Amino acid sequence: MHDTRYEAPRSIEEAVIMLSSGSVDDVRVLAGGTDLLVQMTSGGRSPSLIINLKHIPELTRIRFDDSGALYLGAAANAFTIGQNERIRQQFPGLHEAVGLIGSDQIQGRASVGGNLCNASPAADTIPSLLTSKAVCHIAGPGGATRTLPVSEFILGPGRNALQAGELLVELELPAPAAHSADAYQRLIPRSEMDIAVVGVSVRVTVDNTGTCTDASVALGAVAPTPILVPEAAAALVGTRLEPADLERAAAAASAACRPLDDKRGTAEYRRRVAGVLTKRVAAEAAERARGR
């Protein structure tokens, strides 16, 4: 391994200056390291500078503003998020997705920011971020800041929209509407510790009569990136979320898949499972939304 430097800045400003000193691949930020260190030890990456983000207060902070929007520090770890009762209540599907990442050991380190930036097609939190309309808050050189919806942040497998010198600071999840809830489930070959064959997040909003007024459906592991499926959402809006309605959403979800064949499942299998899970997850989200 060639020479590597390590820094642990205390502020976003310091981190951005360090980040600007090299190319995106040469300078890597370290959140939980559960992707980065695996990539380094298995030889894929050897950055010349590693910047540990966990001493920057904004990066590990979790807060809600007066409107009820969640601001999730990009490097906050999965264990801490899992312990947050308000996140569990307000974003049950995101809470489920975070709780599925790896083992207890991995949870102690893994962050949502790292999961998003690493941009795996199977990343468990990305479908939930998509259906919750999460927005990335990004800091750049010279005090510049910009925001980008998660749907525009992910560009391809392992590729995100950050430019050299830019840092993902936090994720903003707008307060869900009244009678709105999300859910997330995935299929894995084992009962723990595996990568999703398919992951599905659904968010639905219902009115007082139980009619669906808004919906969002996102799939993981069935395309080069996690994808929103507006056709599946459209199949739900205006219905009472009866089994036949969920069936139409499931068909739309299966049709939207552009899966790979690999050792975890054939393309055909993934398409089928995407439909089955969409039905189940939509039913779960609907039940939660009606209970609110």
Ligand X SMILES: Cc1cc2nc3c(=O)[nH]c(=O)nc-3n(C[C@H](O)[C@H](O)[C@H](O)COP(=O)(O)OP(=O)(O)OC[C@H]3O[C@@H](n4cnc5c(N)ncnc54)[C@H](O)[C@@H]3O)c2cc1C
Asked if residue 109 binds other proteins (CB under 8 A), the reply is: yes
Give the one entry of other proteins, ligand X, none that residue 40 binds, where binding means its C-beta sits below a cut-off of 5 to 8 angstroms depending on kind: other proteins
Asked if residue 34 binds other proteins (CB under 8 A), the reply is: yes
Look up residue 107 and give its amino acid. Answer: Q
Interface residue list for ligand X (CB under 6 A)? 28-36, 38, 53, 74-75, 100-102, 106, 109-111, 113-115, 117-118, 123-124, 162, 167-168, 193
Q: Supply the minimum distance, in Å, between the C-beta of residue 121 and ligand X.
A: 10
Residue 90 CB partners (closer than 8 Å, separation 6+): 68, 70, 175, 176
Rounded CA gap, 117 and 200, in Å?
19
Asked if residue 11 binds other proteins (CB under 8 A), the reply is: no
Q: What is the CA 42 to chain-centroid distance, rounded?
A: 24
Rounded CA gap, 221 and 167, in Å?
25
Residue reference for tokens 């991995």:
106
Instruction: Pick the binder of other proteins from 8, 62, 69, 234 (CB under 8 A).
Output: 8
* Residue 279: both structure tokens together: 């039905």
Q: Supply the minimum distance, in Å, between the C-beta of residue 75 and other proteins.
A: 12
Beta bridge partners of 139: 145, 167
* Residue 159: both structure tokens together: 């590729």
Rounded CA gap, 25 and 141, in Å?
17
* Residue 239: both structure tokens together: 């219905």
Q: Supply the minimum distance, in Å, between the C-beta of residue 33 and other proteins.
A: 5
- Cβ-closest residue to ligand X? 114
Give the one entry of other proteins, ligand X, none that residue 118 binds, where binding means its C-beta sits below a cut-off of 5 to 8 angstroms depending on kind: ligand X
Give the one entry of ligand X, other proteins, none that residue 100 binds, where binding means its C-beta sits below a cut-off of 5 to 8 angstroms depending on kind: ligand X
Asked if residue 102 binds other proteins (CB under 8 A), the reply is: yes
Q: Is the dihedral of CA 260, 28, 75, 159 positive or negative?
A: negative
Asked if residue 126 binds other proteins (CB under 8 A), the reply is: no
Nearer to other proteins, 95 or 270 (CB): 95
